[in-house]
Structure 1
């Protein structure tokens, strides 16, 4: 996939969120890090039907359910923020790189305009990687 100049990459997992913009040319991308907002992960609608199960598991049961709920809320908050940026025309083109679980959750919250701005999606965990590695994954 090509990265036109100005394209924004959102790199997401259940705990992390990174943003980059291609400040180079389409044929020679250069990713520059963007400031990431502090997001309040309060959207638990993704796990709402599991919320009762979560409370039952907290007394000595499996500990992964609350974590998954927190991860879903984080990913929903990221997606809501991205939706807002697209609606305000801050991002015209967007590539989303996220682990498969997070990407599936993000898709549930995409606004129609965000879908129109999507250049592509990559279902991989690439948070914490160097910009050159992200470019390689996009070109992969």
Structure 2
């Protein structure tokens, strides 16, 4: 069992976004790339300019430092929010009836925070797995495996 014709599939992580469309049917999926985007990570020196801060503890001369901000993670979260904004915009324009989202758990969590109710209504499947570097046939197999309906147990007579 697969997904309906014209279903939109978003495959993303913190660095890549793939928008795919099923041009096949629910029995023979045929994902085609609509759009592919990639961002390059900036070096640490371009993302932060200061060392982690420190603070004196009152009543002693001891110092403790703040944990350094993970700018790469912030950039990945921003990327996930941008993907959600794009998919929300498309849902509000009735660009798709069904949506499949495939993303690693952290990215999927960030996406879910930003999904519009209209997008949520159209989402038929969410898979928490990293698939941006996989060929289309592997993505099709994953979706097909997730949408299979289990056969009812046999009744012994």
**What range is the shorter-chain TM-score in?**
0.7 to 0.9
> 1:84 aligned to 2:89?
yes
* Paired position in structure 2 for 1:21: 21
- Alignment of 1:59 with 2:51, yes or no, is yes
CA positional deviation for 1:129: 1.1
Quote the Cα distance in structure 2 between the aligned partners of 1:68 and 1:58: 17
Secondary structure of the residue that 1:82 maps to in structure 2?
helix
Larger radius of gyration: 2
When residues 124 and 59 of structure 1 are mapped into structure 2, their CA distance, relative to the original with a 3 A threshold, is same
Structure 2 partner of 1:42: none
Matched, 1:130 2:135: yes
TM-score normalised by length of structure 2: 0.72
Distance 2:78 2:32 in 1: 27
What is the alpha-carbon distance in structure 2 between the residues aligned to residue 130 and residue 38 of structure 1?
16
- Secondary structure of the residue that 1:35 maps to in structure 2? strand
In structure 2, the partner of 1:33 is: 33
Q: Does residue 68 in structure 1 map to residue 73 in structure 2?
A: yes
Q: Would you say 1:97 and 2:102 are equivalent positions?
A: yes
Total equivalences in the alignment:
125
Q: Could you say which residue in structure 2 is the equivalent of 1:47?
A: none
Relative to total residues, which structure has the larger strand share, 1 or 2? 2
Q: Give the alignment's TM-score, normalised by structure 1.
A: 0.80
Q: Which residue number corresponds to residue 11 of structure 2?
A: 11
Aligned CA RMSD, in angstroms, stands at 2.5
What's the CA shift for 1:128? 2.0
Structure 1 unmatched runs, 5+: 40-53
Displacement of 1:82 in angstroms is: 0.4
Higher share in helix: 1
